[in-house]
Chain A
Amino acid sequence: MKPPDPEFRERNRKERIWFVKKQAEWVRSVPNEVWSEHQCRMINALYAHKDQYPLTKKEYLDMIEKARLLSGRRKGSPPIPKRFRC
């Protein structure tokens, strides 16, 4: 997997920040029923097509594992310290 070039990533990041700020401004300015209705419509549309997800269960889990490996995150370690085992 080839990561996108840094310039593209930076441009993408800036665009996302701009959008999030814009959207947050709008969410603050309207009543709860308005922003949540928009949010619901979007999420429900995605939810309605959840069974058309192009991966199988195994492929999905493999993808998560691959992403974890690429990110350098360790799996399940360090072990849970004793003080959390009560």
Chain B
Amino acid sequence: MTIEKKGERLLIQNRHLSQLDLFVSRVLYTLTKYSPYVIVSGYVAILFGRSRSTEDIDILIPYCDLSLFHTIHDTFIEDGYEFLNAEDASGLYSILASGSAIRLCQKDSFIPNIEIKFIKNESDEYSFTNRIELIIDGKNFWISPLEIQIDLSSGSGVRRILKMPYLSEKCVGTL
């Protein structure tokens, strides 16, 4: 594996993109028009070569007002997506504002789906503030810093570490 670091950006060249990557990329392309985001959890490991798939991709976005969320909602619906939570835009916004997640997927195909949450605590904020721009085949993915993926305070810490052994030592040294 080769990872390049150009300024603040990480580049992975000559990496094939899977259907999952392309799905995520399409959603992010639309989302980026309205809101910044950060990808957290398992999909970050997949981007760096973990041999697994995922049914949901976790994304954090900053708190926004209802009217902006309405615009985001309507754009996704027009583009052929749907929200799994059986609510209208206002209902979905209430779910987000209560700190829970909403799930976005391609119409009539709920696997895979994008789990979207508002930033709601210090660790979310850290992930967002220190997010890293990863470029793969010209497509941008803003990912959380790798150290925040490792939860050493809980029993799952070791499992988290094991999701991340794909970075070259050279690259880890510069992060």
**Separation of A21 and B111 alpha carbons in the complex (Å):** 28
- Identify whether the interface residues of B are mostly helix, strand, loop, or mixed: loop
Q: Is B118 interfacial (CB 8 A cutoff)? A: yes
Picked from B13, B17, B109, the residue with its CB within 8 Å of the CB of A40 is: B17
The answer to whether A36 and B49 have CB atoms under 8 Å apart is yes
CB of A33 within 8 A of CB of B63, answer no
B125 on interface, CB distance cutoff 8 Å: yes
Task: Give A9-53 interface residues, CB cut-off 8 Å to B.
Answer: 13, 16-17, 20-21, 23-24, 27-28, 30-33, 35-40, 42-44, 46-48, 50-51, 53
Please determine whether B165 and A32 come into contact, CB atoms closer than 8 angstroms: no
Separation in Å of the B2 CB from the closest CB of chain A?
6
Minimum CB–CB distance for A61 against chain B, Å: 6
* B157 is an interface residue with CB less than 8 A from chain A: no
CA A21 – CA B118 in complex, angstroms? 34
Q: Is the Cβ of B110 less than 8 Å from the Cβ of A77?
A: no
B153 vs chain A, min Cβ distance (A): 15
B42 in the interface, Cβ–Cβ < 8 Å?
Answer: no
Task: Count A-B contacts at CB 8 Å.
Answer: 111
Q: Give B93-126 as 1s and 0s: 1 = Cβ < 8 Å from A's Cβ atoms.
A: 0010111100100000111100000111100110
Binding site for A on B (CB under 8 A): 1-2, 12-21, 46, 49-51, 53, 62-63, 84-85, 95, 97-100, 103, 109-112, 118-121, 124-125, 158-159, 162-163, 165-166, 168
User: 30 A-B contacts, Cβ less than 8 Å apart?
Assistant: A16-B162, A20-B163, A21-B162, A23-B50, A23-B51, A30-B1, A31-B2, A33-B14, A33-B15, A35-B1, A36-B16, A37-B16, A39-B16, A39-B51, A40-B17, A40-B18, A43-B21, A43-B53, A44-B19, A47-B19, A60-B111, A76-B95, A77-B99, A80-B98, A80-B118, A80-B120, A81-B120, A84-B118, A84-B119, A84-B120
- What would 20 more interface pairs be, CB under 8 Å, given A17-B162, A84-B124? A16-B162, A20-B162, A23-B50, A28-B1, A32-B13, A33-B16, A39-B46, A43-B21, A43-B53, A50-B109, A50-B112, A53-B110, A57-B110, A60-B111, A61-B103, A75-B100, A80-B97, A80-B99, A84-B118, A84-B119
- Chain A interface (Cβ within 8 Å of chain B)? 13, 16-17, 20-21, 23-24, 27-28, 30-33, 35-40, 42-44, 46-48, 50-51, 53, 57, 60-61, 75-81, 84-86
